């Protein structure tokens, strides 16, 4: 027979677990379809639930270490630094779809974090085009009207998880067309 004091603790623990499960289920239900995916972080491969970015304005970018556009990491970091406190995130997804990314996750991380001082979230390499594209990129391509044509293609996502703009590689993250649109999206609540 279980003593009453332990029964109360078990009942309290069970009630807390049920409440936590309900909260998690509600947050998953509130997660936009676009973000209802998971991806491992670049630095440690800890799997991240992309729903954690729901309610924020996002710039999602497929990156590569050996591309002529690789210096855009600096602009992406500047953009992140400028708007992060207002509910903005840059999400970087390395990809070797265009044969310009290292197969060594550690080398990619070193380039991002040590060379360019990236502080925004970076994820492990994924495919961004075709039938084997990561589900996030399948959604981005569908909603944005096109898959990435090259490295550093940018998708701008509003707070409700909708793709509102797609920018090709040669458009800098600091281009006034991009920053003006981000300002408008951040002003919306």
- Residues annotated as catalytic are 67
Return d(Cα 58, Cα 46) in angstroms, integer. 21
**Cβ proximity of 31 and 53 under 8 Å:** no
Strand partners, 122: 92
Q: How far is CA 189 from CA 47, 56, 87, 171, 173, in A?
A: 29, 10, 10, 27, 23
Q: CA-CA distance, 51 to 62, in Å (whole number)?
A: 19
Contact 79, 48 (CB under 8 A): no
Q: Are the beta carbons of 42 and 123 closer than 8 angstroms? A: yes
Angle at 97 between CA 119 and CA 81, to 5 degrees: 15
Cα–chain center distance at 121: 7
Distance CA 170, CA 96 (A): 18
Bridge pairing between strands 57-63 and 47-49? unpaired
């Amino acid at each position: 027979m279980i003593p009453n004091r332990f029964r109360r603790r078990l009942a309290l623990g069970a009630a807390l677990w049920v409440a936590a499960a309900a909260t998690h289920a509600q947050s998953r239900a509130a997660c936009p379809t676009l973000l209802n995916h998971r991806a491992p972080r670049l630095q440690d491969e800890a799997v991240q639930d992309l729903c954690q970015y729901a309610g924020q304005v996002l710039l999602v970018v497929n990156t590569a270490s050996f591309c002529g556009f690789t210096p855009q990491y600096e602009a992406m970091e500047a953009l992140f630094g400028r708007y992060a406190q207002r509910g903005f995130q840059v999400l970087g997804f390395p990809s070797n779809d265009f044969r310009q990314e290292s197969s060594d996750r550690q080398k990619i991380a070193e380039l991002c974090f040590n060379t360019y001082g990236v502080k925004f979230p970076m994820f492990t390499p994924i495919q961004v085009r075709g039938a084997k594209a990561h589900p996030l990129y399948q959604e981005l391509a569908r909603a944005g009207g096109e898959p990435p044509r090259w490295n550093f293609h940018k998708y701008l996502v509003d707070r409700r998880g909708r793709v509102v703009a797609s920018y090709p590689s040669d458009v800098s993250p600091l281009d006034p067309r991009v920053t003006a649109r981000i300002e408008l999206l951040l002003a919306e609540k």
